[in-house]
Amino acid sequence: MRLPGRISAAIEVLDDIEKRKRPVADALKDWGLSHRFAGSGDRAAIGNIVYDALRKKLSNAHIAGGDTGRHLALATLIRDWGETPESLNEMFEGDRFAPEPLNEKEIEAFKRDNPLADAPLHVQADIPEWCQNSFERNFDEEWVAEGQALATRPPVDLRVNTLKANRDKVLKALKRVKPVKSEIALNGVRMKAGTTDARTPNVQAEEGYQKGWYEVQDEGSQIVADLIYARPGEKVLDLCAGAGGKSLAMAAAMENKGQIFAYDSDRGRLSAIFERIKRAGAHNIQVRQPDDGSLDDLLDSMDKVVVDAPCTGSGTWRRRPDAKWRLSRDQLDVRLREQEEVLSQAIAFVKVGGFLVYITCSVFPEENEGQIYAFLDENPSFELVSAGEVWQDLFGFDKNQPWSSDLKSITLTPASTNTDGFYFAVMQRNA
């Protein structure tokens, strides 16, 4: 397929997403199944247009003068892919798979100087309007820039599994896709985000992945796993383990010594963890199913309890831009209640002198500092420990620094640390 046909396909997918209110991955998969003539390069390019368009949906619509799939796709090609109205019309002419040429009104819209100057600030930030207050509270005068950073393409990040490999070994094995060492994470490897129709490297098809040398994991997620500071011989409960990314990182940090208990209230979310444990060679992870009494023997005995809490996922909007536009205030309220419940549940497992670690992949203060300070008010036996000092001990002062008002808890963001958005706090249980 040539670019005009790819643009037409992207317009079709974008219209389907809007009409049927469905996840972008599902819409792209269905398009590929019904258009089997499209090669992998075509599908990658179409997906890039769609994702780029959705990341900047509000600002694209403002510039283009509408929010149809055509408006969003054309704005993406002109803003981010280096095209002009003239170059697009030249490509479209005589191509039977191309969209309709740009008309005079569309050309005029794209020719305006500084077309976002009159846009509301939440449009410039490319976030839902109802989220503006949360962003302002969290990021002060930099909230627009933080929103814009969440509308950029993410890199591909890997965590080297030190139980089986080291970073130099993984860099050598993947040299054809030009990996580099992560800037902050202790065992991270990164492939920088591509531009225009660049294909994302399929690192899971590589020999090193099959042998368990590395896992796909955003650098922000790696950093908070580093900050947990799990040590050999400790007993750790991962209370919201999901597919096990942080359990696997802790297992490597603990050198397979001690015990990690991986639990999740949703049995389905745990389904992927078993194969990952096997591939990683992690022998100190014990999976606990959500059955009655399955955690009773762990009461008051854990050195660390990790709560990777259910959240809105606002910190991952670079990777899941469609979720940004589906999120509602009601859904945030549901997540806040779930966070309160899981924090309350975690208390019973922390031994005196032990630590309760709270993590979200959100940048909303309601889900982060708001939850922690409310928890501390209700549970005076817990004391907030300085996560900022742990950061400085692990990563030093010469790296990009996270957001923190008091060095007690920290927030990672694409703009501050060049990672997904994550919040991290740790509390110690006193007698």
Q: 61 with 41: CB under 8 angstroms?
A: no
Q: What are phi and psi of 359, to 5 degrees?
A: -135, 140
Which helix (H) or strand (E) covers residue 124, if one does?
helix 121-125
Q: Measure the CA angle with vertex 37, ends 34 and 41; round to 5°.
A: 105
Catalytic residue, candidates 131, 240, 311, 361 = 361
Type and span of the H or E element at 11: helix 3-20
CB neighbours (10 Å) of residue 118? 9
Q: Where are the beta strands (DSSP E) in 18-146?
A: none
Contact 288, 263 (CB under 8 A): yes
The whole-angstrom separation of Cα 82 and Cα 157 is 26
Each residue of 310-333: b (16+ CB within 10 Å) or e? bbbbbbbbbebbbbbbebeeeebe
**One-character DSSP codes across 102-122:** P-HHHHHHHH-SSTTTTS-HH
Closest CA to 372 of 359, 389, 388: 359
Does 406 show up as a binding residue in the annotation?
A: no
State the burial class of residue 266 (Cβ atoms within 10 Å of its Cβ: 0-12, 13-18, 19+).
exposed
In Å, how far are 62, 252, 410 from 223, measured between CA atoms?
Answer: 36, 14, 11
Q: Where are the alpha helices (DSSP H) in 219-318?
A: 219-228, 245-253, 273-280
* Residue 131 a catalytic site member: no
Alpha carbons 206 and 349: distance in angstroms, whole number: 39
291 is in an annotated binding site: yes
Q: In 86-241, at which residue ranges do the beta strands (DSSP E only) sit?
A: 156-160, 180-181, 188-191, 214-216, 235-238
> Does 16 show up as a binding residue in the annotation?
no
Rg (CA), the chain: 23
Active site positions, annotated: 361
- Residues at the binding site are 264, 291, 308
Q: Binding site membership for S-adenosyl-L-methionine: which residues?
A: 264, 291, 308
